Structure 1
Amino acid sequence: MAEQQPSFDAAKYKHAQREQWNKDGAAWRHWNPILDRWYGVVTSQMLDLARIQPGQRILDIATGAGEPAVSAAERVGPDGYVLATDIAEGIAELALQVARERGLRQMETRAMDGESLDLPDASFDAVLCRLGLMYMPHPVTALREWRRALKPGGRVAVAVFSTPDRNSWGALPASTIRRRAQLPPPVPGQPGPFSLGAPGVLEGVFRQAGFTDPEVRAVPVPHRMASSAEYVRVAREAFGAFNAMMAHLPPQERESVWNEVESSLRPFESPGGFEAPGECLVGAATK
């Protein structure tokens, strides 16, 4: 008799995600200038593909510390409106602080599950989601909800990571942590950073959700810092998933794992600093 594979518990996963981002949100905001430097080109391409114009109503899903919602709010101007949502109420509050610091009154935030929107039908011109969809247990369900909230002809634009071989900044630490923490391989259906990155997958989920004319672009996102040690400092504080993977290890062992991660990344150092390869897929489609 074949051994039954463990199943993925979506509810438990979402609860853990909410807890993690409420805990790590302040660190993510602290490193926002670095993160915006890495992913700023992704944000601008998303806004272009979503065809965002002054005066529009925009919905941002899994906003984190406020991008691309803040950039969208600047683009729609004072006559437009941006609703930034996140499953974690704490980090959504941080996003609102960022908007207010920039004088953007046209942006609001709400805690909301991206797979189940408490929003009326056909109420937004565009939906954005930067680096969030691949962490959702049911991406097609999520996209169908976003489509419901869009006006006819409205646009969705998302960014996800491509494949592990093109994202050494994350794939190398994750493989080291998984080995040292003796974690089992991901179970079928489990979301993760590279779950939508294989060729054709993102176009497929757009079509399954009822969107038309999907367009996907590969965008290089090299992760640059002064050194591998400085990069690991960002990863330790802002990338909560890495810490969650080894939360069961004693502190001394976790420190040892981070030291090994730093060593594995040292080949990306040069006299000019540290640069680890990265690549996002930016995709858009129409209701």
Structure 2
Amino acid sequence: MEKQLKKISEQQKESWNKFSPGWEKWDELFMSFLKPMGNEMIGQLQLKEHDVVLDIAAGTGEPGLSIAQKLSNGSVIITDLSENMLEIAIRNAKRRGIINIKTYACDVSKLPFADNSFDAISCRLGFMFFPDMILAAKEMLRVLKPGGRISASVWNIPAKNFWITAMMGPISKYLNLPPAPEGAPGIFRCSKEGLMEDLFIQAGFKNITLKEIEQQLDCKTTDVYWNIMTEVAAPVVEGLGKADTWMAEKIKTEVFQVVNQKYPQGNILMDSSALLIYGEK
């Protein structure tokens, strides 16, 4: 089992490293898209100026960088599987003049930190992709100090996330892609009702709460939407990679039809919904 988990982590690491240039290219747009979620998570963490915070699966640095800006005497450890993504986080920190951070490329299943090290943990949109979610949650609990707080987020059900289904719907339709195995890493893996609360309970967290937050991806045009998704979304690129030129064009045509039908006046604001889970040690 451990070898299988390691293999999944290595595949994910390779994928995130591969797509890091696209994430850097579209970082400003995507971080604006996810900012309401990050702000809500930061609010849940009830930060104090001297806190030491761990941001897990941070990608290009958020919400860890925004957390760091709120800690006048504290610091943030920013982690991710992908070294290339963390290099972007470092560049983002330098550009914003943020110095109270450190980065570590590491696997959430085996965090390189001592027990009771952190006052708070943030994990934005990471749990869906962890090979073993309960092991990850227990590792987070281990490194939290007694009374420490955690705020995590995951994507809600497909029906509330047009920003991804507008693309993946036509891809799945034309390529007859089989559904992902039950419990396999994937974008909607954690959307099942009660799953995240049960996971936190099993891990040992207490005072658990769950809330929904909605936000919009402001693409402005359908062309921008297509370009974003084909440069940052691994499942999209993987799916299109299985299509010949004719099929890929059919998929693109249908994606444009679906999006333009929903937004006939232009101004493409793609709907999304996420679940925020909070707990304490």
TM-score norm. by structure 2 comes to 0.93
CA, structure 1 residues 16+254, in 2 after alignment: closer, same or farther (shift >3 Å)? farther
1:175-194 to structure 2, matched below 5 A, reads 175-194=169-188
Give CA deviations for 1:184-224 in whole Å, capped at 9, x if unaligned.
22112202111111222111111111000111111111222
Shift of 1:252: 5.4
SS in 2 for 1:223: strand
Q: Which residue of 2 aligns with 1:47?
A: 42
2:12 to 14, 17, 39: 17
Q: Which residue of 1 aligns with 2:96?
A: 102
Instruction: Give yes or no for the alignment of 1:30 onto 2:5.
Output: no
What amino acid sits opposite 1:22 in the alignment?
N
Shift of 1:103: 1.2
Q: Which residue of 1 aligns with 2:263?
A: 269
Shift of 1:272: 5.5
Whole-angstrom distance in 1 between the partners of 2:248 and 2:5: 26
- Deviates most, 245-254 or 39-48: 245-254
Give CA deviations for 1:38-92 in whole Å, capped at 9, x if unaligned.
1111001101111122121111111111101111111113x21111111111111
2:150 to 152, 156, 161: 156
Whole-angstrom distance in 2 between the partners of 1:239 and 1:97: 22
- Deviates most, 145-154 or 188-197: 188-197
- Deviates most, 174-183 or 109-118: 174-183
Q: Which residue of 2 aligns with 1:67?
A: 62
The answer on whether the counterparts of 1:161 and 1:197 sit within 8 Å (CA) in structure 2 is yes
Whole-angstrom distance in 1 between the partners of 2:233 and 2:186: 13
Q: Which residue of 1 aligns with 2:114?
A: 120
SS in 1 for 2:211: strand
What amino acid sits opposite 1:12 in the alignment?
K
Shift of 1:255: 4.4
The answer on whether the counterparts of 1:268 and 1:276 sit within 8 Å (CA) in structure 2 is no
Shift of 1:15: 2.1
Whole-angstrom distance in 2 between the partners of 1:286 and 1:92: 27
1:1-12 to structure 2, matched below 5 A, reads 10-12=5-7
Where does structure 1 differ by over 4 angstroms across 4 or more consecutive aligned residues? none
Tell me the C-alpha RMSD between the 2 structures.
Answer: 1.6
Q: Which residue of 1 aligns with 2:192?
A: 198
CA, structure 1 residues 105+92, in 2 after alignment: closer, same or farther (shift >3 Å)? same
* Structure 2, unaligned runs of 5 or more: none
1:246 to 240, 247, 262: 240
1:201-280 to structure 2, matched below 5 A, reads 201-250=195-244, 253-271=247-265, 273-280=267-274
- Deviates most, 242-251 or 165-174: 242-251
Q: Which has the higher helix share?
A: 2
Whole-angstrom distance in 1 between the partners of 2:255 and 2:8: 25
Q: Which residue of 1 aligns with 2:123?
A: 129
Whole-angstrom distance in 2 between the partners of 1:80 and 1:258: 47
The answer on whether the counterparts of 1:137 and 1:189 sit within 8 Å (CA) in structure 2 is no
The answer on whether the counterparts of 1:268 and 1:275 sit within 8 Å (CA) in structure 2 is no
Give CA deviations for 1:223-282 in whole Å, capped at 9, x if unaligned.
222122221111111222311233333455434423332222222224261122210111
Whole-angstrom distance in 1 between the partners of 2:248 and 2:12: 20
The answer on whether the counterparts of 2:54 and 2:118 sit within 8 Å (CA) in structure 1 is yes
Q: Which residue of 2 aligns with 1:141?
A: 135
